[in-house]
C-alpha cells in the first residue's frame, strides 16, 4: 500500500476568473479549462466505481488505500466543479458541455461491469505520472497565469502523482488481470478522445473567439498533429503548422520523452509507482506542511511569485 494523505483544500474560484486565465499561453489556458470539464465527470465516475469496489474488499490495507484515494478524488471533482461553475456563469451555454461529460460517464457506468470501470480508471491514472510531471516541470511555460487557477492545477497534479499507484492497487486487488486492462485500453482511450472533441466543440460554440484567444478544437488530438508538423523539418513550413499550441517553446526532446512515457504507461508490465517524481513535487509538499497558502501558491500574484 502507499502513503497517501488527504488535505482539506478550498479555492476561491468563481465568475471573476476569466475564461482565458493564462494569456501568456492561451492554448494551455484553454486546455486546462477542458481538463476541468473532463475532471468533474471522470472523478465522479471514479467515486461511483470505487464505492462499488469497496463493497467487495475484505483486505483492510486495500480498503484504506481505496478510501483515501476516494477522498482525494471527491475533493478534486468538487474543486474543478467550482472552476467550471464560474465559467458557466459567464457563458451559460457551457452548462450543456458539463451535462454532456457527466451523462457520458453515467451512461458508461450503467453499460459496463465493475471490472471495466476499474480497468478504465487504472489505465487513465497510469498516464498521469508522466503527463503531470511534464506539466509541473514546464509549469512556467504552461501554467503561469491567474494564481487561483494555476494553484488549483498544481495541487491537483501533485496529488495525482502522490496517489499514482492507488488505481493500480485497487484494480489488482479486485480484478487482478492486467491483460484484461490492456484489452480494454482501446475502448477507454476512444471514450476519452470522443469526450475531448465534444468538450472542444462545445467550448468553441459557447465562448467567443476574442475571449478564448485560440480555438479549443486545437487542444484535442489535433494538437499532437500540429506539434509534429512544427517539429519536423519537412513539415514545419506548412500553413497549419503555425497554429499556436500549448507546448510551443518546449524542447522537442522533452515532448518526445512525454510521448514515450505515455506509451510505456499502458504496458501490462508497467507500474506507476516506479515513476520518479519531479523535485518540485517535494517543494510543494514541504510548503504545504509549513502552512503556506496553497490556494494562491503558484501563478501571477501568488505567494511564491518572487521565487518561481
Q: Is residue 257 part of a domain?
A: yes
Digitized pLDDT (tens) for each residue of the chain, 308 residues in all: 678 999 999 999 999 999 999 999 999 999 999 999 999 999 999 999 999 999 999 999 999 999 999 999 999 999 999 999 999 999 999 999 999 999 999 999 999 999 999 999 999 999 999 999 999 999 999 999 999 999 999 999 999 999 999 999 999 999 999 999 999 999 999 999 999 999 999 999 999 999 999 888 876 766 777 777 777 766 566 666 567 788 988 998 999 999 999 999 999 999 999 999 999 999 999 999 999 999 999 999 887 755 55
**Residue located via cell numbers 474488499:** 57
Contact between 91 and 26 under an 8 Å Cβ cutoff? The reply is no
CA distance linking residue 36 with residue 257, whole number of Å? 25
What sign does the CA torsion over 236, 209, 19, 92 have? negative
- Note the pLDDT of residue 215: 87
Residue 295 inside a domain? The answer is no
Task: Report how many domains make up the chain.
Answer: 1
CB 298 within 8 A of CB 150: yes
pTM, entire model = 0.93
Q: Are 220 and 196 in contact (CB under 8 A)?
A: yes
Query: Which pLDDT does position 229 carry in this prediction?
Result: 72
Of the candidates 77, 34, 65, the one whose C-alpha atom is nearest the C-alpha of residue 273 is 65
Record the cell numbers describing residue 201, joined without a space. Answer: 466543440
Q: Which of 29, 83, 21, 17 lies closest to 214, judged by CA?
A: 29
Give me the sign of the Cα torsion angle 219, 294, 282, 299: positive
The predicted structure's pLDDT at residue 201: 95
Residue 2 domain-assigned (yes or no): no
Per-residue confidence (pLDDT) for residue 217, from 0 to 100: 83
Q: At 12, is the secondary structure helix, strand, or coil?
A: coil
- Cβ atoms of 77 and 135 within 8 Å: the answer is no
Chain-centre distance for alpha carbon 169: 20
Computed from CA positions of residues 195, 196, 198, 202, in that sequence, does the dihedral angle turn out positive or negative? Answer: positive
The Cα–Cα gap between 54 and 279 comes to: 33
Residue that is written with C-alpha cell 471533482 in the block:
77
| CA–CA separation, 258 and 264 (whole Å) | 10
- pLDDT of 238 reads 66
> Is residue 13 a part of any domain in this protein?
no
Q: Examine residue 249 and state whether it is found in any structural domain, yes or no.
A: yes
Q: Judge whether 31 lies within some domain.
A: yes
Grid-cell match 468538487, residue found = 78
- Taking CA atoms, 282 is separated from 74, 228, 296, in Å, by 23, 33, 18
104 vs 91: CA distance, rounded Å? 21
- The reply to whether 19 falls in a domain is no
Full domain range(s) for residue 246: 26-290
Which CATH number do you get for residue 196? 1.10.620
Answer whether residue 5 is part of any domain: no
Amino acid at each position: 500500500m502507499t502513503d497517501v494523505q488527504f488535505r482539506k483544500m478550498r479555492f476561491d474560484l468563481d465568475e471573476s476568473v476569466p475564461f482565458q486565465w493564462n494569456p501568456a499561453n492561451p492554448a494551455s489556458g484553454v486546455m486546462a479549462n477542458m481538463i476541468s470539464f473532463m475532471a468533474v465527470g471522470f472523478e465522479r465516475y471514479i467515486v461511483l466505481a470505487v464505492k462499488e469496489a469497496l463493497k467487495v474488499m475484505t483486505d483492510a490495507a486495500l480498503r484504506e488505500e481505496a478510501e483515501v484515494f476516494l477522498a482525494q478524488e471527491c475533493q478534486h471533482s468538487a474543486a474543478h466543479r467550482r472552476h467550471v461553475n464560474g465559467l458557466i456563469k459567464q457563458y451559460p451555454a457551457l452548462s450543456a458541455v458539463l451535462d454532456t461529460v457527466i451523462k457520458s460517464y453515467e451512461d458508461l457506468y450503467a453499460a459496463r461491469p465493475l471490472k471495466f470501470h476499474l480497468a478504465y480508471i487504472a489505465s487513465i491514472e497510469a498516464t498521469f505520472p508522466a503527463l503531470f510531471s511534464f506539466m509541473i516541470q514546464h509549469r512556467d511555460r504552461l501554467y503561469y497565469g491567474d494564481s487561483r487557477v494555476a494553484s488549483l492545477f498544481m495541487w491537483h497534479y501533485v496529488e495525482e502523482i502522490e496517489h499514482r499507484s492507488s488505481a493500480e492497487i485497487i484494480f489488482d486487488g479486485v480484478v487482478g488481470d492486467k491483460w484484461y486492462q490492456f484489452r480494454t485500453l482501446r475502448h477507454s482511450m476512444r471514450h476519452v478522445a470522443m469526450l475531448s472533441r465534444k468538450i472542444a466543440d462545445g467550448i468553441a460554440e459557447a465562448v467567443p473567439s476574442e475571449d478564448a484567444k485560440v480555438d479549443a478544437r486545437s487542444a484535442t488530438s489535433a494538437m499532437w498533429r500540429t506539434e509534429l508538423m512544427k517539429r519536423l523539418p519537412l513539415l514545419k513550413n506548412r500553413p497549419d503548422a503555425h497554429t499556436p499550441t500549448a507546448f510551443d517553446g518546449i524542447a522537442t526532446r522533452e515532448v518526445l520523452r512525454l510521448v514515450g512515457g505515455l506509451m510505456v504507461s499502458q504496458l501490462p508490465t508497467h507500474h506507476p509507482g516506479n515513476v520518479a517524481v519531479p523535485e518540485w513535487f517535494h517543494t510543494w509538499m514541504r510548503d504545504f506542511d509549513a502552512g503556506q497558502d496553497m490556494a494562491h501558491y503558484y501563478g501571477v500574484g501568488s505567494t511564491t511569485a518572487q521565487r518561481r
